[in-house]
Amino acid sequence: MRFTLSVFLLALPLAAWAQTTLTEAEAVRLTFARSDLSDLERGSVKIAEADVLAAGQRPNPELSYSREHVSGSPETAEQSWMLSQSFDLSGRRGLRRDAAGRRVEVVVAENAGRRSALAAEIRRGFHDALLRQKNIRATETWVQRFAKVEGMVGKLTRSGDASGYDQRRLARERQAAEARLASERADLGRSMARLAAFTGANGDLAVSGELLPPPPFPIETALDRLAQRPDLLALSRRAEAADLDGRAAQRGAIPDVTVGIGPKWVDNGISRDNGVAFSLSVPLPLFDRQQAGQQRAAAEAMQARATYRLARAHAEGELRGLSGQAKALRVVATDYRAHAVAASPELLNIAEAAYKGGESSLLELLDAYRGALETETAALELERRAREARIEYDLLTGSTE
């Protein structure tokens, strides 16, 4: 009775105590819906937008006042107010504003890349939990079979066809099964806790889905989408921003012009004359013509484009390799389940009939049970590997699905 209750408790379906069931898509959606992630993305974009505002901002006008005494005539004083404003005749400010705008697009692309990487991490965690959940169910089936074996051993013992060794051997196998099931459940608890931390879901969790992924989309489609991958898009925008900075620096020989105007009056103690003062100032670009800025911008553009070409070439190679791997692993996993796993029920029936008929030993029957469990867990591991390849394939294209 005590053993039967233990088996019953260990074999309870996981859904009996699960309160929330997540699919892969729901896990990703819940993670993306968290305000912390949105705040992080909005904050980084706002910082970049502030740089756009600063780059396009006109310089403030200057208000100055002067008072002078004419030499040899201390009673005579000249006073003036001057309002001065600098003007950008070269168009540098507009180019720098456009460059800052490209860097906003860089930040947006980096946020998209962060989302893509996070989605891949969530999907890995989800399928890790799904694998452990399926392993538990397979192990529960193994544990449940001991009740059936115990009934057969009991009948054979009473008829004198089974020895006490068989009962002790069965007890040891049962203990191993219970330990394995407890270990699997502990591992699942850790995976679920990690998934709950990402998604923000409360209460007990269970996951629902298939380990075996759908076929990957064609490699031609993946290669066509490669230019829109967030990290490559960010590199492209960085190069464009550097080009704009370089164009602005090339106009360093065209100086800003500062124009001032204001009232002026001369007071000699007897009479007072009024007038208008006008000023014009232009810096002479004899030495500093933004040579350093031109060199820096050209180097940054060259670096970004070289990095882009290297990253794209690497990504194309990885995509081709992953496409073949994902397809091959999916075929292997499908064939293994269709043949090896599908044959397990028939093999178990043969092993049970042979044991009942006295044609085989208990060890051979237990070996058949272990073989069925190992076949199922091997099939699950093959499916997990196919899923991992598909997640990597999606990550290389910047997909979050």
pLDDT > 70: what percent of the chain? 88
Mode of pairing for the β-strands spanning 77-87 and 62-69 = antiparallel
Q: How many domains would you assign to the chain?
A: 1
| Tens-digit pLDDT profile for residues 246-280 | 999 998 888 899 999 999 988 777 777 888 999 99
| Tens-digit pLDDT profile for residues 289-327 | 888 989 999 999 999 999 999 999 999 999 999 999 999
Q: Does 168 score more than 90 pLDDT?
A: no
Rounded CA-CA distance 214/219 in Å is 14
What would the two tokens of residue 190 be?
């850790």
- Count of Cβ atoms closer than 10 Å to residue 85 Cβ: 14
pLDDT of 341: 92
Mean pLDDT in residue range 207-236: 90
pLDDT > 90: what percent of the chain? 54
- What residues contact 199, with CB distance under 8 A and at least 6 apart? 22, 27, 30, 31, 122
**Domain-located, residue 279:** yes
**Domain-located, residue 193:** yes
**Domain-located, residue 332:** yes
**Domain-located, residue 336:** yes
| Tens-digit pLDDT profile for residues 13-23 | 444 444 578 89
**Domain-located, residue 21:** yes
- Domain of 116 in residue numbering reads as 2-396
| Tens-digit pLDDT profile for residues 47-85 | 999 999 999 999 999 999 998 876 666 677 888 999 999
**CATH code of the domain containing 84:** 1.20.1600.10
Mean pLDDT of the chain: 86
Which residue from 379, 293, 294 is spatially nearest to 334, judged by alpha carbons? 379
DSSP H helices in 337-401: 344-356, 362-396
**Domain-located, residue 401:** no
pLDDT of 2: 41
State the pLDDT confidence band at 11, using cuts at 50, 70 and 90: very low
Higher pLDDT, 201 or 301: 301
Q: Does 340 score more than 70 pLDDT?
A: yes
